[in-house]
Amino acid sequence: MPYARHAAFTLLLMFAFAVCARAQEAKGTTYRKISNDRLAAVKVTNLKNHIIAISDELGNYTIKANIGDTLEFTKADYTVQKQEYEGFAMIVYMQPGFKLNEVRITGQTKKQELREIMGQYKSQGTFYNGKPPVLSFLTNPITGVYELFGKTPNRAKRFAQFAKRELEATEVDRRYNSALVMKVTGLTDSAEVAKFMAYWRPSYEDLKIWADYDLMKRIRTNYNYYRRNGDKYQPLPQLTAPESLGGPGPIKIKKP
């Protein structure tokens, strides 16, 4: 009988220990390797329970984990790190990686192409993209009138507006991409990712003032709202007013 009581007590202790082990929170700090600067906005993922956390401005993070769980640490332009949680605070050093030259080259090619077309407009005698300054009418009235009413300057003005929108859209696409959305939301279906990205898209003006950490927070917030209301509130189609109503109308750009 005493033996049975002792065995039951031992099992109770083991069960209590297991419960405590499951309730642990892994804490730690992320650093930039070599410089030892603390690293903010590092995404920490528990690969077993799929819980995600983000390191704060001081590089500190807290995430639910059991002993033996593998934690993955990711941040743009840094090498992915994986460490096994052993029950105590973890110090993680993130190794800076190399940026993809292909991305830079693609963006630069588009910018160069747009500049080349604008250069062709200027070679045809337009110097102010269809928006002559007031002083141009005093210094060179013929050029000022031509810039204001000429066919080529008007085409140049429309192209300049198109080029601005195109470059801004390229910058948004560079930062707000499907890979980032998948990491933040946990989505794996590319069709569902595309659907969410069509539902919510940050503006160029927003991204000018948002750091990567801010963008990830906005993605998470809007995705949670999308999961609750995405089927109820579909985004309205974007309409372009025709020229007869004062709108820009359809823009067709051709090289001069």
Nearest to 46 by CA among 75, 80, 84, 12: 84
Distance CA 151, CA 60 (A): 60
Q: Characterize 173-191 residue by residue with b for buried, 16 or more Cβ atoms within 10 angstroms of its Cβ, and e for exposed.
A: eeebeeebbebbbebeeee
CB 86 within 8 A of CB 52: no
In the DSSP assignment, the letter for residue 202 is -
Kind and range of the H or E run holding 141: helix 141-149
CATH numbers and ranges of domains, the chain: 2-94 (2.60.40.1120), 101-229 (no CATH)
C-alpha span between 21 and 27 (Å, rounded): 14
> What tens digit of pLDDT does each residue of 55-86 get?
998 899 999 999 999 999 999 888 899 999 99
Of 168, 232, 237, 230, whose CA–CA distance to 195 is shortest?
230
Cβ atoms of 73 and 44 closer than 8 Å: yes
pLDDT in tens, the chain (256 residues): 555 555 555 555 555 455 444 558 899 999 988 777 899 999 999 999 999 999 998 899 999 999 999 999 999 888 899 999 998 889 999 988 754 444 444 445 666 666 666 666 555 545 444 454 544 434 444 344 334 434 555 666 676 677 778 888 888 989 999 999 999 999 988 889 999 998 999 999 999 999 989 999 999 999 999 998 865 555 545 545 455 444 444 444 444 4
